[in-house]
């Protein structure tokens, strides 16, 4: 039988401004360790600490622009585009545009504060 998920759980976000994270599938909302699926909405000017996660993160941008910095550069991912951040590689996410961004993130294995490995 399929598992019906009635609603997400709101997760506290890291960064300099409030960002909304609604986890539909993952460790918090469904007890799922692989994968996690979350709907993100970040305001313009939001930036989070860099990280070197122990999971792959697949991100599809629905609205706005998400900037992904990595060792050696940065890429702006716009609505209708996607990016894969590979486990073990340093990345930092931000939304430099004044309208922010809305996106879906899938982490494999599921996101965990213990495995995101944020910069100190």
Q: What is the pLDDT of residues 53-109, one digit of tens each?
A: 999 999 999 999 999 999 999 999 999 999 999 999 999 999 999 999 999 999 999
Rg (CA), the chain: 14
**What is the reported pTM?**
0.95
Quickly tell me which residue has 């998400």 as its tokens.
66
The answer to whether residue 120 scores a pLDDT higher than 90 is no
Q: What is the Cα–Cα distance from 89 to 96, expressed in whole angstroms?
A: 22
Round the average pLDDT of the chain to a whole number and report it.
97
Give the three-state DSSP class for 61. strand
């Amino acid at each position: 039988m399929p598992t019906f998920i009635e609603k997400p759980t709101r997760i506290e976000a890291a960064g300099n401004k409030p960002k909304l994270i609604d986890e539909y599938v993952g460790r918090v909302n469904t007890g799922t360790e692989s994968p996690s699926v979350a709907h993100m909405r970040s305001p313009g000017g939001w930036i989070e600490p860099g990280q070197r996660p122990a999971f792959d993160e697949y991100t599809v941008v629905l609205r706005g622009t998400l900037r992904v910095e990595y060792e050696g550069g940065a890429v702006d991912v716009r609505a209708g585009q996607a990016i894969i951040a590979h486990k073990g590689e340093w990345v930092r996410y931000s939304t430099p545009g004044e309208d922010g961004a809305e996106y879906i993130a899938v982490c494999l294995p599921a996101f965990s504060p213990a495995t995101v490995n944020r910069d100190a």
